[in-house]
Structure 1
Amino acid sequence: LLLRIYPSIFQKKKRKMTEEEDNFAREVTEFNNEYGLTSNRDLLIKKKVKTELNDLENEAALLKNEMESMEHKNVQLNALQLQKNELKQDLFTLQSELKGVPDNHIMTKDLEAEKVQVIEKPQTDPECLRLKKELENCRNDDWESICETLQTEIEILQMKKYFGVPFLEIKGS
């Protein structure tokens, strides 16, 4: 009875329902095609696995390059650390030597003062003055005695020449 009264409404509802079924079927087909649900699923999975495997291999290569770079940097860092330790040792050695420099400076001043005292000692020390005077007297005496000895020898030689006496005879007698 309702179908007779409202045949146009029924037709409209039926058409609308058919359209919705078609739209739904089309959307499901698109969805299945988009995600490969209706195609060969194994092939799609293999393709995704292959893509993911390539991505992982690329990432592994990048990580390997980064590790090699870090190893190279580590070698450089170790070399720099070794150089730093050598420089620290050199600095320690220089600081030790530098600590001795003020002592050497003081020692040098002390030696210079002692040098001045030693230089002045012969002119101020009574013992040095006495020995100096005695040395001068000895020198004067020695020159006088050498002069007297030479004069005596000259006289002897002149006498030998004058008397014609051989040198050995006079010396022997």
Structure 2
Amino acid sequence: MPPLETFKRKMTEEEDNFTREVTEFNNEYGLTSNRDLLIKKKIKTEINDLENEAALLKNEMESMEHKNVQLNALQLQKSELKQDLFTLQSELKDLEKVIREAERMTKDLEAEKVQVTKKPQTDPECLRLKKELENCKDDDWESICETLRTEIEILQMVCHFHYVF
């Protein structure tokens, strides 16, 4: 290819590139079209973008409010559980006090039981009554029984005698 044709072809390519770049520049900055329409279009796009962002922020705020309600409910539940724990700890202390008192009373009663168990062997009144009981056992029960039978027969006769008259 001759140099002149190469030069013309290069010039044509550069001219095409220049024309394309100028056209893009004019279109981008609205130099060849209605500038007001382009500005309105850009403003409308920005408004849509801002409305979308506002909707996202509103959704996020609603989500945060919902989470805040849940957090408040959990804090209330935590407070109630702390109160329940305090009540249970107080009841535990009261029960431990009752148990200690019952253990002390049991110990006292066991000591008293030991004393009461020893009493019949050491108390003078118990010893006297025990001796009297042994003496009664040694008495002749047959003679006492015979005496009582005789008295019963006499009483029956007296009753029968009063009944007949």
- Tell me which interval the TM-score lies in, with the shorter structure as reference length: 0.5 to 0.7
Greater Rg by CA: 1
Q: What is the identity percentage for the equivalent residue pairs of Structure 1 and Structure 2? A: 40
* TM-score normalised by the chain length of structure 1: 0.61
Cα deviation 1:120-166 (Å, max 9, x = unaligned): 21122122211332345467669577514324247759xx7xxxxx9
- Corresponding pairs, count: 143
1:111 aligned residue:
109
Q: 1:66 aligns with which of 60, 64, 67?
A: 64
Residues 1:29 and 2:22 are matched in the alignment: no
**Structure 1, unaligned stretches of length 5 or more?**
1-18, 161-165
1:38 aligns with 2:38: no
The one-letter code of the counterpart of 1:133 is K
Structure 2, unmatched stretches of 5+, are: 1-14
Given residue 29 of structure 2, which amino acid in structure 1 is its aligned partner? Answer: N
* Alpha-carbon spacing, 1:105–1:167, altered in 2? closer, same or farther (3 Å): same
**TM-score relative to the length of structure 2:** 0.63
Deviations 1:67-92 (A, max 9, x none): 11221232133123212311221122
The structure 1 residue matched to 2:122, chosen from 124, 136, 139, is 124
State the distance in 1 between where 2:98 and 2:152 align. 68
Task: Quote the RMSD (CA, aligned, Å).
Answer: 3.9
User: Could you tell me how far 1:108 is from its partner in structure 2?
Assistant: 0.9
> Residues 145 and 43 (structure 1 numbering): CA distance in 2 closer, same or farther, change over 3 Å?
farther
Give the aligned partner of residue 90 of structure 2: 92
Distance 1:127 1:39, change over 3 A: same
